[in-house]
Amino acid sequence: MSTPLTPGPAKKSLGQHFLFDPSILARVATAGGSVEGKTVIEVGPGPGGLTRALLDSGAARLLAVELDDRFAEGLSLWPEARARNGEEARLHIHHGDALAANLPALVQDIGGSLPAMIVANLPYNVGTPMLVEWLKTGQHEGAAWRGTMVLMFQKEVALRICAAPDEDHYGRLAVLSQAVTRPRIALTLPPGAFRPPPKVDSAVVVLDPLPEAECFSDLASLEKVTAAAFGQRRKMLRAALKSLPGAVEALATAKIDPTRRAETLTQAEFRALTTAWRASA
């Protein structure tokens, strides 16, 4: 069995903070439920601690997407990355940028099944854009491609994903995340759990996909409305939404008091406002 690689110096530009404690890694691997027999995508396997835990927890196919040459090459030498004794490889390394990769197509290429779970200790510098991209592109060839996502972020970002109206961290990221998933914080970790330690606490967020009938399908429009509404979050909506033509008028259609602030609007109200704005455009 392969153990995690010796990482060498961490690259700050790639957000590298590694986990090596097997008990923590086992908890992260299964925080979103059993991975036994499932197809899993891991973004940024690094030296492979979480990769090892996912394989040991029974993942049937693991697509690991890594930008750093050292780790992509090292992990591709693991025995699980080769077909053996008539059994296909369980571990498949894609050497490249996860933001530029077509993840569902890669899963299909390796014979995995969709929807796939995504389990990752994400690089802090690009974790939020990655999540937003995955939230926006939930369908591949007309069907859901991502299942439950188990993602490690800075704790501050995790709080922003899970926040409710009127809470300090409530904003665009909460509204977008909760339009298509039900997120919850599964565990938090102090800086000392990582090598090298980051400056802040981290947290694992589990995002279970909402049933299709409960999802809001037009995330691109919701993104525009939330960007305008929270762009000036202390202002009343009638002022904040001026930057988006037609949005102030849509408040009346959606029956939302224009003197309210964005941080008080529920998920349902943001959906109603977005639908009204899109219908008027």
User: CB of residue 126 vs ligand SAM: minimum separation in angstroms?
Assistant: 5
Query: Smaller CB distance to ligand SAM: residue 65 or 179?
Result: 65
158: contact with ligand SAM by CB under 6 A: no
Query: Smaller CB distance to ligand SAM: residue 126 or 135?
Result: 126
By C-alpha distance, which of 137, 156, 144 is closest to 117? 144
Structure tokens at 157: 């970002």
> Which region among 41-49, 136-144, 244-252, 262-270 touches ligand SAM (by CB under 6 A)?
41-49
By C-alpha distance, which of 189, 132, 190, 133 is closest to 161? 132
Stretch 105-134: interaction string toward ligand SAM, x if CB under 6 A: ----------------x-x--x--------
Q: State how far the Cα of 252 lies from the Cα of 276, in Å rounded to an integer.
A: 9
Which residue reads 């300090």 in tokens? 168
> Which region among 45-53, 102-110, 164-172, 210-218 touches ligand SAM (by CB under 6 A)?
45-53
Angle (CA) 198 195 10, round 5°: 90
**AA letter at 193:** A
- The DSSP line for 80-144 is GGS-BTTBPPSEEEEES-TTTS-HHHHHHHTT--SSEEEEEE--TTTHHHHHHHHHHT-EETTEE
Closest residue to ligand SAM: CB criterion: 44
149: contact with ligand SAM by CB under 6 A: no
Interface residue with ligand SAM among 5, 19, 117, 248 (CB under 6 A) is 19
User: CB of residue 152 vs ligand SAM: minimum separation in angstroms?
Assistant: 7
15: contact with ligand SAM by CB under 6 A: yes
- The DSSP line for 30-62 is TTTS--TT-EEEEE--TTSHHHHHHHHTT-SEE
By C-alpha distance, which of 68, 52, 49 is closest to 9? 68
Q: State how far the Cα of 144 lies from the Cα of 138, in Å rounded to an integer.
A: 6
User: CB of residue 29 vs ligand SAM: minimum separation in angstroms?
Assistant: 10
Which residue reads 């224009």 in tokens? 258
215: contact with ligand SAM by CB under 6 A: no
Interface residue with ligand SAM among 97, 109, 133, 214 (CB under 6 A) is 97
Residues 6 or more apart from 267 whose CB is under 8 A from it?
Answer: 175, 178, 179
Query: Smaller CB distance to ligand SAM: residue 8 or 246?
Result: 8
Query: Smaller CB distance to ligand SAM: residue 200 or 227?
Result: 200
Query: Smaller CB distance to ligand SAM: residue 17 or 172?
Result: 17
32: contact with ligand SAM by CB under 6 A: no
48-87 positions binding ligand SAM, by CB under 6 A: 49-50, 65-68, 71
Residues engaged in binding ligand SAM (CB under 6 A) = 14-19, 43-46, 49-50, 65-68, 71, 97-99, 121, 123, 126
